[in-house]
Amino acid sequence: MTIATEEPGSMKPVLITGASSGIGAACCEWLLARGYQVFAGMRSPNEDARLKQQYGERYQLLALDVTDAESIESAMNIVQSRTDGKLSALINNAGVAYSGALETLPMHQVRSLFDVNVLGTFAMTQACIPLLRASRGRVVMMGSISGILAAPGLSAYSSSKFALEGLSDSLRNELKPFGIRVTILEPGKIETPIWSKALQQLTTKEEEMSSDGHSLYQPLDDFYRHYAANEKATPMSELLAVLQKALEAQHPKARYTVGRAARIRSLLMHLPTALRDRLLQRAVPVTSDD
Protein backbone atom coordinates (compact mmCIF):
# COMPACT_ATOMS: atom_id res chain seq x y z
CA MET A 1 0.00 0.00 0.00
CA THR A 2 1.34 3.40 -1.01
CA ILE A 3 0.72 6.32 1.32
CA ALA A 4 1.33 9.88 0.16
CA THR A 5 3.50 11.77 2.61
CA GLU A 6 1.78 14.79 4.12
CA GLU A 7 3.41 17.97 5.33
CA PRO A 8 4.98 17.39 8.76
CA GLY A 9 2.37 17.57 11.49
CA SER A 10 2.66 18.61 15.08
CA MET A 11 4.68 15.57 16.16
CA LYS A 12 1.86 14.41 18.43
CA PRO A 13 2.84 11.12 20.08
CA VAL A 14 0.60 8.12 19.40
CA LEU A 15 0.93 4.59 20.79
CA ILE A 16 -0.49 1.77 18.69
CA THR A 17 -0.56 -1.87 19.77
CA GLY A 18 -0.34 -4.84 17.43
CA ALA A 19 1.71 -2.82 14.94
CA SER A 20 3.70 -5.66 13.39
CA SER A 21 1.34 -6.44 10.50
CA GLY A 22 -2.08 -5.93 8.97
CA ILE A 23 -4.17 -3.03 10.23
CA GLY A 24 -1.58 -2.08 12.83
CA ALA A 25 1.27 -1.79 10.33
CA ALA A 26 -0.89 0.19 7.88
CA CYS A 27 -2.03 2.57 10.63
CA CYS A 28 1.56 2.99 11.80
CA GLU A 29 2.75 4.06 8.34
CA TRP A 30 -0.26 6.34 7.86
CA LEU A 31 0.40 8.07 11.19
CA LEU A 32 4.03 8.64 10.32
CA ALA A 33 3.08 10.07 6.93
CA ARG A 34 0.78 12.57 8.65
CA GLY A 35 3.52 13.81 10.95
CA TYR A 36 2.77 11.94 14.17
CA GLN A 37 5.40 10.53 16.50
CA VAL A 38 4.61 6.83 16.57
CA PHE A 39 5.32 4.26 19.27
CA ALA A 40 4.77 0.96 17.47
CA GLY A 41 4.02 -1.77 19.99
CA MET A 42 4.48 -5.39 18.98
CA ARG A 43 4.97 -8.62 20.85
CA SER A 44 7.85 -9.82 18.67
CA PRO A 45 9.74 -6.67 17.63
CA ASN A 46 10.51 -6.57 13.92
CA GLU A 47 11.66 -3.05 13.11
CA ASP A 48 10.95 -1.75 9.63
CA ALA A 49 14.31 -0.37 8.45
CA ARG A 50 12.57 1.59 5.69
CA LEU A 51 10.34 3.43 8.17
CA LYS A 52 13.25 4.05 10.52
CA GLN A 53 15.32 5.51 7.69
CA GLN A 54 12.47 7.65 6.39
CA TYR A 55 11.08 8.94 9.68
CA GLY A 56 13.98 8.68 12.09
CA GLU A 57 13.16 9.22 15.75
CA ARG A 58 9.45 9.73 14.99
CA TYR A 59 9.26 5.95 14.52
CA GLN A 60 10.01 4.15 17.77
CA LEU A 61 9.60 0.43 18.22
CA LEU A 62 8.28 -0.94 21.50
CA ALA A 63 8.57 -4.53 22.65
CA LEU A 64 5.03 -4.85 23.97
CA ASP A 65 2.95 -7.86 24.95
CA VAL A 66 -0.45 -6.53 26.05
CA THR A 67 -1.05 -9.68 28.11
CA ASP A 68 2.08 -9.18 30.22
CA ALA A 69 2.10 -6.59 33.03
CA GLU A 70 5.90 -6.26 33.10
CA SER A 71 6.02 -5.74 29.34
CA ILE A 72 3.38 -3.00 29.57
CA GLU A 73 5.21 -1.28 32.42
CA SER A 74 8.52 -1.36 30.56
CA ALA A 75 6.94 0.04 27.38
CA MET A 76 5.14 2.80 29.26
CA ASN A 77 8.37 3.86 30.98
CA ILE A 78 9.86 4.44 27.54
CA VAL A 79 6.81 6.35 26.30
CA GLN A 80 6.74 8.46 29.46
CA SER A 81 10.40 9.40 29.19
CA ARG A 82 10.19 10.34 25.51
CA THR A 83 6.96 12.34 25.59
CA ASP A 84 7.33 14.35 28.80
CA GLY A 85 4.42 12.34 30.17
CA LYS A 86 1.93 13.34 27.46
CA LEU A 87 0.30 11.03 24.92
CA SER A 88 -1.93 12.33 22.15
CA ALA A 89 -3.65 9.02 21.42
CA LEU A 90 -3.76 5.33 22.19
CA ILE A 91 -4.90 3.01 19.40
CA ASN A 92 -5.87 -0.35 20.88
CA ASN A 93 -5.36 -2.48 17.79
CA ALA A 94 -3.80 -5.70 19.12
CA GLY A 95 -6.20 -8.60 18.63
CA VAL A 96 -6.69 -12.14 17.41
CA ALA A 97 -9.57 -13.74 15.53
CA TYR A 98 -10.87 -17.22 14.93
CA SER A 99 -14.10 -19.03 14.33
CA GLY A 100 -15.74 -22.21 15.50
CA ALA A 101 -18.80 -23.50 17.31
CA LEU A 102 -18.53 -23.02 21.07
CA GLU A 103 -18.73 -26.77 21.67
CA THR A 104 -15.56 -27.30 19.68
CA LEU A 105 -13.35 -24.47 20.94
CA PRO A 106 -10.31 -25.47 23.01
CA MET A 107 -10.52 -23.44 26.21
CA HIS A 108 -6.85 -22.48 26.14
CA GLN A 109 -7.52 -20.71 22.85
CA VAL A 110 -10.57 -18.94 24.25
CA ARG A 111 -8.58 -17.71 27.25
CA SER A 112 -5.79 -16.54 24.98
CA LEU A 113 -8.25 -14.62 22.79
CA PHE A 114 -9.80 -12.84 25.77
CA ASP A 115 -6.37 -12.12 27.25
CA VAL A 116 -5.42 -10.20 24.10
CA ASN A 117 -8.71 -8.74 22.84
CA VAL A 118 -10.28 -7.74 26.15
CA LEU A 119 -7.91 -7.85 29.13
CA GLY A 120 -4.99 -6.58 27.07
CA THR A 121 -7.05 -3.64 25.86
CA PHE A 122 -8.20 -2.93 29.41
CA ALA A 123 -4.63 -3.04 30.75
CA MET A 124 -3.18 -0.83 28.02
CA THR A 125 -5.89 1.77 28.40
CA GLN A 126 -5.48 1.84 32.16
CA ALA A 127 -1.74 2.33 31.80
CA CYS A 128 -2.12 5.17 29.28
CA ILE A 129 -4.87 7.22 30.93
CA PRO A 130 -2.54 9.45 33.02
CA LEU A 131 -0.56 10.38 29.88
CA LEU A 132 -3.75 10.92 27.87
CA ARG A 133 -5.22 13.09 30.62
CA ALA A 134 -2.13 15.31 30.54
CA SER A 135 -2.75 16.08 26.85
CA ARG A 136 -6.55 15.71 26.73
CA GLY A 137 -5.91 12.94 24.24
CA ARG A 138 -7.91 10.22 22.54
CA VAL A 139 -8.51 6.48 22.79
CA VAL A 140 -9.37 4.53 19.64
CA MET A 141 -10.61 0.96 20.03
CA MET A 142 -10.33 -1.40 17.08
CA GLY A 143 -13.65 -3.18 17.37
CA SER A 144 -15.53 -5.12 14.71
CA ILE A 145 -18.92 -5.47 13.12
CA SER A 146 -18.91 -8.76 15.06
CA GLY A 147 -19.20 -6.64 18.20
CA ILE A 148 -22.64 -5.56 16.99
CA LEU A 149 -23.93 -8.58 15.09
CA ALA A 150 -23.02 -11.99 16.47
CA ALA A 151 -23.10 -14.70 13.81
CA PRO A 152 -23.05 -18.47 14.41
CA GLY A 153 -19.51 -19.74 14.74
CA LEU A 154 -18.08 -16.54 16.19
CA SER A 155 -19.09 -16.99 19.82
CA ALA A 156 -15.62 -16.33 21.26
CA TYR A 157 -14.58 -13.57 18.87
CA SER A 158 -17.95 -11.77 18.99
CA SER A 159 -18.01 -11.96 22.78
CA SER A 160 -14.64 -10.25 22.94
CA LYS A 161 -15.71 -7.51 20.53
CA PHE A 162 -19.04 -7.00 22.32
CA ALA A 163 -16.95 -6.50 25.47
CA LEU A 164 -15.03 -3.71 23.72
CA GLU A 165 -18.31 -2.00 22.85
CA GLY A 166 -19.28 -1.98 26.52
CA LEU A 167 -15.82 -0.87 27.58
CA SER A 168 -15.89 1.99 25.07
CA ASP A 169 -19.32 3.21 26.15
CA SER A 170 -18.42 3.22 29.82
CA LEU A 171 -14.96 4.68 29.31
CA ARG A 172 -16.24 7.42 27.04
CA ASN A 173 -18.27 8.86 29.90
CA GLU A 174 -15.65 8.21 32.57
CA LEU A 175 -13.01 10.14 30.65
CA LYS A 176 -15.09 12.96 29.19
CA PRO A 177 -14.55 15.22 32.26
CA PHE A 178 -10.80 15.04 31.54
CA GLY A 179 -11.20 16.01 27.89
CA ILE A 180 -10.31 12.51 26.64
CA ARG A 181 -12.35 11.32 23.63
CA VAL A 182 -13.09 7.61 23.17
CA THR A 183 -14.07 6.16 19.79
CA ILE A 184 -14.55 2.58 18.62
CA LEU A 185 -14.12 1.53 14.99
CA GLU A 186 -16.32 -1.30 13.71
CA PRO A 187 -14.86 -2.65 10.47
CA GLY A 188 -16.00 -5.66 8.51
CA LYS A 189 -13.39 -7.73 6.78
CA ILE A 190 -10.23 -5.77 5.99
CA GLU A 191 -7.63 -7.49 3.83
CA THR A 192 -4.98 -8.41 6.41
CA PRO A 193 -3.00 -11.51 7.48
CA ILE A 194 -5.41 -12.01 10.40
CA TRP A 195 -7.59 -14.10 8.08
CA SER A 196 -4.71 -16.35 7.09
CA LYS A 197 -4.07 -16.87 10.80
CA ALA A 198 -7.76 -17.67 11.27
CA LEU A 199 -7.50 -20.38 8.62
CA GLN A 200 -4.50 -21.85 10.42
CA GLN A 201 -6.50 -21.83 13.65
CA LEU A 202 -9.31 -23.79 12.01
CA THR A 203 -6.86 -26.50 11.00
CA THR A 204 -5.38 -26.64 14.50
CA LYS A 205 -8.84 -26.81 16.09
CA GLU A 206 -9.91 -29.66 13.82
CA GLU A 207 -6.82 -31.62 14.83
CA GLU A 208 -7.78 -31.23 18.50
CA MET A 209 -11.48 -32.08 18.03
CA SER A 210 -13.04 -35.49 18.31
CA SER A 211 -14.22 -37.02 15.06
CA ASP A 212 -17.85 -36.49 16.19
CA GLY A 213 -17.30 -32.80 16.93
CA HIS A 214 -15.51 -32.35 13.64
CA SER A 215 -18.30 -33.89 11.57
CA LEU A 216 -21.14 -32.13 13.42
CA TYR A 217 -19.90 -28.64 12.60
CA GLN A 218 -18.04 -29.29 9.36
CA PRO A 219 -20.41 -27.05 7.30
CA LEU A 220 -19.81 -24.18 9.71
CA ASP A 221 -16.03 -24.53 9.47
CA ASP A 222 -16.26 -24.82 5.70
CA PHE A 223 -18.30 -21.60 5.59
CA TYR A 224 -15.68 -19.61 7.51
CA ARG A 225 -12.85 -21.16 5.53
CA HIS A 226 -14.56 -19.93 2.36
CA TYR A 227 -15.25 -16.53 3.97
CA ALA A 228 -11.63 -16.06 4.97
CA ALA A 229 -10.36 -17.01 1.53
CA ASN A 230 -12.93 -15.42 -0.76
CA GLU A 231 -15.05 -12.73 0.92
CA LYS A 232 -14.37 -9.32 -0.64
CA ALA A 233 -12.49 -7.13 1.82
CA THR A 234 -12.96 -3.42 2.49
CA PRO A 235 -9.94 -1.40 1.26
CA MET A 236 -7.53 -0.33 3.97
CA SER A 237 -7.94 3.25 2.75
CA GLU A 238 -11.51 3.32 4.08
CA LEU A 239 -10.36 2.31 7.54
CA LEU A 240 -7.61 4.92 7.52
CA ALA A 241 -10.08 7.63 6.48
CA VAL A 242 -12.20 6.78 9.51
CA LEU A 243 -9.15 6.65 11.76
CA GLN A 244 -8.39 10.20 10.69
CA LYS A 245 -11.82 11.30 11.89
CA ALA A 246 -11.38 9.50 15.21
CA LEU A 247 -8.02 11.19 15.80
CA GLU A 248 -8.48 14.60 14.25
CA ALA A 249 -12.16 15.57 14.13
CA GLN A 250 -13.05 18.22 16.67
CA HIS A 251 -16.06 16.17 17.73
CA PRO A 252 -15.44 12.53 16.74
CA LYS A 253 -18.34 10.10 16.82
CA ALA A 254 -18.58 7.49 19.54
CA ARG A 255 -18.41 4.75 16.87
CA TYR A 256 -17.73 4.40 13.17
CA THR A 257 -18.90 1.37 11.16
CA VAL A 258 -16.36 0.80 8.39
CA GLY A 259 -17.12 -0.66 4.97
CA ARG A 260 -20.28 -1.23 2.96
CA ALA A 261 -20.67 -4.87 4.02
CA ALA A 262 -20.36 -3.94 7.71
CA ARG A 263 -22.92 -1.15 7.36
CA ILE A 264 -25.39 -3.52 5.71
CA ARG A 265 -24.90 -6.09 8.46
CA SER A 266 -25.41 -3.47 11.13
CA LEU A 267 -28.90 -2.85 9.73
CA LEU A 268 -29.88 -6.38 10.74
CA MET A 269 -29.83 -5.26 14.37
CA HIS A 270 -32.93 -3.15 13.66
CA LEU A 271 -34.94 -6.24 12.71
CA PRO A 272 -37.02 -8.32 15.15
CA THR A 273 -34.79 -10.91 16.81
CA ALA A 274 -36.64 -13.92 15.38
CA LEU A 275 -36.38 -12.57 11.84
CA ARG A 276 -32.70 -11.69 12.28
CA ASP A 277 -32.00 -15.20 13.59
CA ARG A 278 -33.72 -16.81 10.59
CA LEU A 279 -31.66 -14.71 8.19
CA LEU A 280 -28.42 -15.59 9.96
CA GLN A 281 -29.29 -19.29 10.04
CA ARG A 282 -29.90 -19.24 6.29
CA ALA A 283 -26.71 -17.33 5.58
CA VAL A 284 -24.38 -19.28 7.87
CA PRO A 285 -24.91 -23.07 7.75
CA VAL A 286 -24.14 -24.69 11.08
CA THR A 287 -24.86 -28.30 10.13
CA SER A 288 -25.68 -30.11 6.93
CA ASP A 289 -29.28 -30.60 5.82
CA ASP A 290 -28.84 -34.36 5.71
CA–CA gap between residue 253 and residue 49 (Å, rounded) = 35
Q: Cβ distance 15 to 91 under 8 Å?
A: yes
**114 and 157 Cβ atoms separated by less than 8 Å:** no
Check if the beta carbon of residue 221 is closer than 8 Å to that of residue 54.
no
Is 6 within a domain?
A: no
Confidence of residue 171 (pLDDT cuts 50, 70, 90): very high
Judge whether 7 lies within some domain. no
Domain count, the chain: 1
Structure confidence by residue, pLDDT tens digits, 273-290: 999 999 998 888 887 655
157 is catalytic: yes
- pLDDT higher than threshold 60 for residue 7: no
Does the pTM of the predicted model rise above 0.85? yes
| 3: in domain | no
Which one from 157, 217, 224, 256 is the annotated catalytic residue?
157
pLDDT digits 0-9 by tens, 262-271: 999 999 999 9
Summarize the confidence of residues 98-109 as an average pLDDT: 91
Range of 67's domain? 13-283
The answer to whether position 22 is within a domain reads yes
Sign of the alpha-carbon torsion through 67, 142, 153, 201: negative
* CATH code of the domain containing 259: 3.40.50.720
E-strand ranges in 8-132 read 13-16, 37-42, 59-63, 89-92
What are the residues whose beta carbons fall under 8 Å from the beta carbon of 21, sequence distance 6 or more? 192, 193
